[in-house]
Structure 1
């Protein structure tokens, strides 16, 4: 008997959502085990060992059970008709994990040790927040973990009572609302991505079946490409907001008095946040190239320090795969944008390591016909001649039909190609490859007659000069507003925040800012450019201003860059934000003190 095709389509999507979750759970297995062991080692003492050790065993067993489900599903995928059963099994396993993590609040929150209580709440919050990017692809699966965890934590705080714990109860509720909202947005994003992928696959099938409809199919492909760009921009914007807020809060927290263990936890959390930010930066770089807003800053620079940095960064990855990493010494001085050239080389080296299983890679920069040729040689899988143009297309990957996310997004070489084109002549990109023998990716660069600059700009130290300035923050995201205010006040600023144009204008009537840091895209289709212009008109002065944007849509990028205002992209590192803020306040000599 034939099955309903609509039912088959729904089950196919559900199976793909499950695959997304199972891959994430497989990757997260060991980090969760390490988190359990770390919590036991931090919290254990003579009074709670009889409870905490069994908790650690229970958490490990629950995590092993979830990991077993993930490995079983990925090793021998279920037929489509079994997807619903797998969802129920996974929900049951995650409910057990949620109960275990919620039980930690009853074991470790005693109202006596605030530092330990903070660590416990922070780790539970990190587990709940981190699970969004893995389990929220199916909201019911995420609820299975988060609901028992949240109920037990709230019940413990309510039971302890007192002003402090009552305040923490409200903070936990607020965090739960924010995380659930983010989970729902992430679920919709994943669902749209899966549907878009299936639509693209169907489109490719139609193109193979009929060549007579080539013109119509090309138009559909262009429409799909626009939809893909919009999807990337929307997904990037929604994910940038919490990552940006997380970075701000962690920077403020790192400047407080913490124990050595707590500081290590904060450092690890910051490293995880930076890893998320780096993936978002890949999407931003791709969007910036599509928008045509990459502006090279050509200057003379020595290539050897660049080769040294790249080798230090990637030699460990090569060693882990048993590859030999070598780079030849070079005394050449190039005339190009050092940041873009470094980004190009980083992508080429990362790509070489990813597709090389034996042998190694060699990075060289040699003089060729009056120009420099920066090249990455590898002994990898090589590329067929028919594929050597296609590898520079976005999302095109060799040997990855299953779209393994550990192999990247398929944007590295597309970004390299776009950046070389943005640098313009005489820059050029070359590829020589033989299947089974390896590849040589090369970039042609002009030689500089001038010497390189003396030294790069120093980074922000741990105790930067304090700022004395009234700074207004305008952002419609509550978590970002609070994080920005805390960070700026920690730097010594008198800081107030507004969530809209009307709030900003009303605030400026009674509290006149000396600078404004404004999100680019606000609610009701208001832009940060409009907010800054209205504040300047009301105050009748050229108010110093910074734009911060989480939007990577090409049209939005062009609009923001065209405003002429300094533009930073979420997630913004505190060091970069500090330097840009100092730059716009340079006209006020009394805004900093040591």
Structure 2
């Protein structure tokens, strides 16, 4: 109905032009009055139909369209009678040329009606039937065989128009159906897109909540475990019976295992936070392989499996700390999933690259699982979540760190026979190796130093006091910035060790800045944090100070203290 009414309201000017041509060609002394009356009537009806169509379009809806169909049928019945009446007015007096013009105009009007009205077939049939019957009656009454044949031809012509009109109506209906289907599809796609956005937002919120929970839980767990590790170190240096020392070793082993899992979470959080900065430079692989072997071979020995490492003289371009973390994760994973046989770490040179390989005779990985093993918290063969098999983050961390360095990490495996992980490293000329730095003794460097510890956890402060005093240091402990400033005003410390997160919104960086504002920028300091939240890691990393992560191994703390004291004394 919208299509039909739109055609009706746009046909006025065409009808006016056609009526003007007909008046110019057909007007004579015999038909002047009836022809003028006809022209007035046809133009009046067209103007009324156009006005009515505009009004109907504004009101057309699902409740009014049927009444509009009936209204248009009536108007077009009248329109068909008016057009056909032209033959009654002119054919009796017109010459051959005039008669041909009138019949041609009638054929044209019928064809035009088919194109504009056939989208609603009842309206078109009303117009065409009225036009055809009225013209055929006139031609039949003329009693001329030629006009009779013309009437029969007109009937055939109108039948053809009906067929074309039906096709046009079906095409219009198909186009309308398709439009509504497209609209429905678009609406469905919009709904699905909105649902997908909602699901994405929900997933982001869930992931953010998970990250916050893990960060909070990690921080809260790190505090007592950090203090526990420091107390155990102090206890280890005490006089103990063999039975007590055995119990101490068991407790230390359990604490170390917990610390390793927390450090794995920390490594993952550091990657997510984007605070892992690579310093790619030439380095020898063999010293790195020696460090990993000294650290992890005892774990293989404890399981009764063979740990082998082939010597290599390869020099590669990489970051030694990050590459060590990748290799440590790969080797730990190989030991964890190998029950018999052993593992082999070696290096092969290929086309300007070194392939650092970790082979094992473990459970192997099926082809369908080779992508999944690099996903976070995904483990094979550990449905009971045995903590001795880790958290399922080692390979995910190794892959993301390899991407950070631009190294390709690949996997080949055969279920039941073992796996091999390969890291592709670019080779470097041996002449580009940096000069070796002199070694120094950490314990001797910190003996006698005065240390100010800032931490809002009483257990950590007490553990640090006992450990530092056991190392020969003088130690003061504060629980916040105000307390630290008061202690430093009495006796100036050589070095400050501050937890990063203090009470309220204060941070260790704020505390150290306040102390340096009073006592000078040369005051040595280092930060210790148990936070794993990405934003906290970025803030702490941006401070520019030496940063340690709880639980801190005592040996690592010794080295860091010696380092900042040495740098402070060189700066002074």
Query: Per the shorter chain, which TM-score range?
Result: 0.5 to 0.7
1:530 Cα deviation (Å)? 1.1
What does residue range 164-313 of structure 1 map to in structure 2 within 5 Å? 213-258=195-240, 262-263=244-245, 265-311=247-293, 313=295
* Conserved 8 A contact 2:527-2:548: yes
The residue aligned with 2:323 is 341
1:490-509 to 2 correspondences below 5 Å: 490-509=470-489
For the 8 Å contact 1:468–1:590, the answer to whether it is kept is no
**How big is the shift at 1:588?**
6.6
* Residues 1:410 and 2:392 are matched in the alignment: yes
Match of residue 150 from structure 1: none
Q: State the alpha-carbon separation in 2 of the partners of residues 235 and 433 from structure 1.
A: 36
TM-score normalised over the length of structure 1 = 0.57
Structure 1 distance, partners of 2:562, 2:387, is 39
Q: Does 1:586 align with 2:566?
A: yes
SS at structure 2 position matched to 1:306: helix
Please, which of 533, 537, 547 is the counterpart of residue 527 of structure 2?
547
Match of 1:565 in 2: 545
Q: Contact 1:460/1:575 (CA < 8 Å) preserved in 2?
A: no
Mapped to 2, the partners of 1:257 and 1:324 lie a distance apart of 36
Deviation at 1:436?
Answer: 4.6
Work out the CA distance in 1 between the residues paired with 2:415 and 2:212: 36
TM-score normalised per structure 2:
0.59
CA shift in 2, pair 1:384/1:558, >3 Å: same
| 1:61-72 → structure 2 map (5 Å cutoff) | none
Question: Would the alpha carbon gap of residues 542 and 354 (structure 1) be closer, same or farther in structure 2, given more than 3 Å must change?
Answer: closer
Shift in alpha-carbon separation, 1:234–1:287, aligned structure 2, 3 A: same
1:435 Cα deviation after fit: 4.2
2:336 corresponds in structure 1 to 354
Q: Distance in 2 between matches of 1:317 and 1:545?
A: 36
Instruction: Give, in whole Å, the separation in 2 of the partners of 1:491 and 1:358.
Output: 43
From 440, 444, 453, give the equivalent of 1:473: 453
Partner residue in 1 for 2:504: 524
1:212-252 superposed Cα distances (whole Å, 9 cap, x missing partner): 95443333223222222222211221111112112222333
1:440 aligns with 2:449: no
* Superposed displacement of residue 541, structure 1: 4.6
Q: How far apart, in 1, do the equivalents of 2:350 and 2:487 lie?
A: 61
Gaps spanning 5+ residues in structure 2: where?
Answer: 1-191
Q: What is the CA-CA distance between 1:458 and the residue it aligns to?
A: 5.2
Contact 1:459 1:575 in 2 (8 A): no
Q: Please identify the structure whose Cα radius of gyration is greater.
A: 2
Distance, in Å, in 1 between the alignment partners of 2:300 and 2:506 is 48
**Separation (CA, whole Å) in 2 of partners of 1:541 and 1:437:** 59
DSSP 3-state at the match of 1:304: helix
Please state whether the residue corresponding to 1:585 is helix, strand or coil.
Answer: helix
What are the equivalent positions in structure 2 for 1:38-187 lying under 5 Å apart?
none
The structural deviation recorded for 1:432 is 2.6
CA contact (8 A) 1:392 1:414 kept: yes
Flag the 1:219–1:378 CA change in 2: closer, same or farther, 3 A: farther
Name whichever of 247-256 and 571-580 sits farther off.
247-256
SS at match of 2:410: strand
Q: Is the 8 A contact 1:352 1:378 kept in 2?
A: yes
Does the aligned pair in 2 maintain the 1:252–1:486 contact within 8 Å?
A: yes
Aligned residues: 379
Checking the alignment, whether the CA contact within 8 Å between 2:500 and 2:529 is kept in structure 1 is: yes
The SS at the match of 2:566 is coil
Stretches of structure 1 that go unaligned for 5 or more consecutive residues are: 1-209
- Asked if 2 retains the 8 angstrom alpha-carbon contact of 1:360 and 1:378, the reply is yes
The CA deviation at 1:555 is 0.7
- Residue 367 of structure 1: aligned partner: 349
Q: Deviations over 1:66-93 (max 9, x none)?
A: xxxxxxxxxxxxxxxxxxxxxxxxxxxx
How far apart are the structure 2 equivalents of 1:231 and 1:535? 33
Aligned twin of 1:489: 469
Q: Would the alpha carbon gap of residues 430 and 532 (structure 1) be closer, same or farther in structure 2, given more than 3 Å must change? A: same
State the Cα deviation string for residues 21-54 of structure 1 (Å, max 9, x = none).
xxxxxxxxxxxxxxxxxxxxxxxxxxxxxxxxxx
Q: Is the 8 A contact 1:306 1:342 kept in 2?
A: yes
1:516 CA displacement = 1.5
Alignment check: 8 A CA contact 1:431 1:441 kept? yes
Cα distance in 2 for partners of 1:543, 1:270 equals 34
- Aligned-partner Cα distance in 1 for 2:294–2:556: 23
CA distance in 1, matches of 2:278, 2:222: 25
Identify the range of structure 1 (378-387 vs 576-585) with the bigger mean alpha-carbon deviation.
Answer: 378-387
Partner Cα distance (2:570, 2:478) in 1: 25
Q: Deviation string for 1:244-291 (max 9, x for gaps)?
A: 112222333344455565555545544443332222211111111111
Two-structure CA RMSD over aligned residues (Å):
3.2
